[in-house]
Amino acid sequence: MSQPNAVRDQLRQMLALLESERQALAGLDLDRILSSAQNKLQLCAVLENCDRSTLDEECFGLLDAVKRLNEINRRLRNLIASNMQARLNALTGAANVYSRRFPGLSAEMAR
Any alpha helices (H) in the chain, and if so which ranges? Answer: 3-27, 30-47, 57-92, 103-110
Residue-wise pLDDT for 23-66, tens only, equals 999 999 999 999 999 999 999 999 998 888 888 999 999 999 99
Q: What is the pLDDT of residue 18?
A: 96
Dihedral sign, CA of 36, 42, 47, 48? positive
Q: How many CB atoms within 10 Å of residue 98? A: 8
Residues in the chain: 111
* Cα gap 22→65, rounded to integer Å: 14
Of 52, 54, 68, the residue nearest 18 (C-alpha): 68
Instruction: Read off the pTM.
Output: 0.75
Q: Is residue 88's pLDDT more than 80?
A: yes
